[in-house]
Amino acid sequence: QSVLTQPPSVSGAPGQRVTISCSGSSSNIGSTYDVHWYQQLPGTAPKLLIYGNNNRPSGVPDRFYGSKSGTSASLAITGLQAEDEADYYCQSYDTSLRGVIFGGGTKLTVL
Amino acid sequence: QVQLVQSGAEVKKPGASVKVSCKASGYRFTSYGISWVRQAPGQGLEWMGWISAYSGNTNYAQILQGRVTMTTDTSTSTAYMEVRSLRSDDTAVYYCSRGTGSGAYGLDPWGQGTLVIVSS
């Protein structure tokens, strides 16, 4: 059971907007530590998608948007494309566990 | 470009040890740390620990304390992760990734992954 809670799955039609939530607590997301998001395409290594809550690495389309509020964070994907079908993970740091933590992952299906 | 290249797949028997390597290139190795993350078949990501390539300081996940050792060789810009007393539930793809001890700024990039199968 992951410290950060994500929905197991979300889906949307091409062109639509979807959001993936990541719920934590005061010892992780609710503390001073940022939230980061990763995209894992089938059979490949995870790739950093959003860092520092809402920053995109070079090459990541602006269709991907991250936000953080209180003890939760969200990843929004607009203009869904078939190539966005993947697993998405949130990540932060937990002061009680003194370690990096991940959400359980969310499988995005593009209908 | 910044790149992490890991060693090849391993098949081990229960009780044995496995050591995975992660060779870095394209940046100053000692300016960052290396986190290790594993992913069991069909499961999510599990952080295993982190090592500073500058000091050698480590921080291991509590669940793996006593069974895992992370080291670096700065002369070859290579990080190593060893798991001892392997069990069937250690079967997973093991990834290395560049990052800080707290994962601040995210983990980036990631190695291609090393499949470790533990089976009798």
How confident is the model at residue B102, as a pLDDT?
A: 82
Mean pLDDT of B59-79: 95
* Whether B44 and A38 lie within 8 Å, measured CB to CB: no
- Chain B CB contacts of A92 below 8 Å: 103
B23-52 pLDDT tens trace: 999 999 999 999 999 999 999 999 999 999
Of B47, B105, B110, which is closest to A101 when you measure between CB atoms?
A: B47
Of A45, A51, A92, which is closest to B110 when you measure between CB atoms?
A: A45
* Whether A93 and B104 lie within 8 Å, measured CB to CB: yes
Instruction: Find the closest chain A residue to B112 by CA distance.
Output: A45
Average pLDDT, chain B: 96
How confident is the model at residue B104, as a pLDDT?
A: 83
A33-65 pLDDT tens trace: 999 999 999 999 999 999 999 999 999 999 999
* Whether A46 and B49 lie within 8 Å, measured CB to CB: no
Mean pLDDT of B50-69: 94
Q: Does the pLDDT of residue B15 top 90, yes or no?
A: yes
Q: How far apart are CA B71 and CA B21, in angstroms?
A: 10
* Whether B106 and A91 lie within 8 Å, measured CB to CB: yes
Strands (E), A1-111: 9-12, 18-23, 36-40, 47-50, 64-69, 72-77, 86-94, 99-102, 106-110
Residue A67 burial (10 A CB sphere; 0-12, 13-18, 19+):
middle
Confidence band for A32, pLDDT divided at 50, 70 and 90: confident
Percent of chain A with pLDDT over 70: 100
Mean pLDDT of B110-118: 98
Q: Does the pLDDT of residue B85 top 90, yes or no?
A: yes
- Chain A CB contacts of B44 below 8 Å: 2, 89, 102-105
Closest chain B C-alpha to A81 CA, distance in angstroms: 23
With tokens 């990734």, the residue in question is B97
How confident is the model at residue A26, as a pLDDT?
A: 95
Is residue B116 within 8 Å of residue B12, measured between CB atoms?
A: yes
Confidence band for A97, pLDDT divided at 50, 70 and 90: very high
User: Range with the lowest mean pLDDT among A71-75, B50-54, B62-66?
Assistant: B62-66
Phi/psi at A91 (nearest 5 deg)?
-150, 140
**Strands A72-77 and A99-102, bridge-based pairing:** unpaired
How confident is the model at residue A2, as a pLDDT?
A: 86
SS3 label, residue B12? strand
Tokens describing residue A81: 């494309």
What is the widest separation between alpha-carbon atoms in chain B? 41
SS3 label, residue A65? strand
